Amino acid sequence: MRLLRQLTRRKLRTTLTILGITIGIWALVVFSSMANKINALVEGGSQYFAGKVLVTDASSIGVGIGTSPMNREVADQIAELDGVAAAAPEIQMIYDPEAGGAFGGAETLLGAVTGADKGLETFPIRAIQGRLITLEDEGSHVVVLGSDLARKEAVSIGDTLEIRGEDFEVVGILEPTLTAPDTTAWVPLAAAQELFHASLPAPIQEAISADELISQVVVYPDVGVTEGDVAARIETEIDNVSTLTGAEFDEQIGSATAIFNAIIIGVAVISLVVGGLSVINTMAMSVAERTREIGVKRAIGGARGRIVRELVAEAALIGFIGGLIGLGLGAVVVVLANEAGRDSGTILFDLTVGTAIFAVAFSTILGIVAGIIPAWHAARLDPVEALRYE
């Protein structure tokens, strides 16, 4: 209560200082939420690629995704190699060619043969409604949708969904994972083969039939064999393929996220410097104005430590209020942006409880640290000098 009264003594100045912190913390919250989302995507990818090798055509350019046509024979050839436990042929393609690539995980269509992984896939995919694709679905047009995609298409179990001009029955919707599966549509391999075949240029369509067509092979090594060894063997034995191991995924995508995370830290540092300086400035002015009051307090027996505590508490309160408002405004932006992006399936932000707590704690500590210097200066004043101060 007393603290608030001290703060409201100079309403405009306190408000401006709080605003300075608010902006810093707002930026911190928004950027951290973005980083959370990206890191979750990368984490999901990292988890998915751990312990396996993704084989794509040598001409495929995406990292962790094969979109160039390959012959299904390649999967059989790889399965024959030593150290390979399973080689699952798959098709991965852009879900909606009109939409283009979306930030934060492009929407993809994945065609796979259930069981081709021989039970080795460990990445957890669970249906929240309906069911997953089974082997019996092979040959029929059914689809299981990731949570974001299902929300975007506004479909539920039993509905018919048109994908690339073909009708599919929605049989399952997946639990949100905050990573790539949220924006993925699963179909039986044969259905994906048809769609993929139809999307290819005419000369290629003539050269390869739909049932021979795949775009990537997911390879599971035998127990005791490293994915690096398997990848090396595939590259030497099979022509015109490139491989990606979990470690390589981490390296390639990890360096990109490291840059992004560095930007976040940069924002945090700038907000720290700007916000901190404005708190120092405000508190230094408050101390100067209150020189006489501090002199009185010292004269009537206020210990130095107590003077420091009073002033630091004021600065901490400025930081705390600024942090709360910054968090509030940041949360508003995150929620609005996610709502706006929901229709297009673009969820950009993930504001976690940890981020929220960190932001407020960070700005409070910032206030404390910035308050210490002027407070210490105040406590060191000669009480007699301070009493004479006009």
Interface residues with other proteins (CB under 8 A) are 2, 5-6, 9, 292-293, 295-304, 306, 382-384, 387
Smallest distance, other proteins to C-beta of residue 315, A: 16
CB 127 within 8 A of CB 115: no
The shares of helix, strand and coil residues in the chain, as percent rounded to the nearest 5, are 60, 15, 25
What is the separation, in whole angstroms, between the first and last Cα of the chain? 27
Smallest distance, other proteins to C-beta of residue 147, A: 54
CB 163 within 8 A of CB 195: yes
The residue count of the chain comes to 390
Euclidean distance between CA atoms 232 and 223, whole angstroms? 17
Beta strands at 184-188 and 160-163: parallel, antiparallel or unpaired: unpaired
Smallest distance, other proteins to C-beta of residue 360, A: 26
Element (H, E) at 296: helix 291-299
Cβ nearer to other proteins, comparing 1 with 353: 1
Q: Where in 118-274 does DSSP place strands (E)?
A: 127-130, 142-145, 160-163, 166-174, 184-188, 213-214, 216-221, 241-245
Q: Which residues pair with 242 in a beta bridge?
A: 56
CA angle 251, 253, 258 (to 5 degrees): 85
Smallest distance, other proteins to C-beta of residue 8, A: 9
CB 132 within 8 A of CB 172: yes
Cβ nearer to other proteins, comparing 9 with 126: 9
Cβ nearer to other proteins, comparing 106 with 287: 287
Cβ nearer to other proteins, comparing 7 with 53: 7
Smallest distance, other proteins to C-beta of residue 32, A: 37
Cβ nearer to other proteins, comparing 23 with 296: 296
Cβ nearer to other proteins, comparing 58 with 299: 299
Smallest distance, other proteins to C-beta of residue 283, A: 16
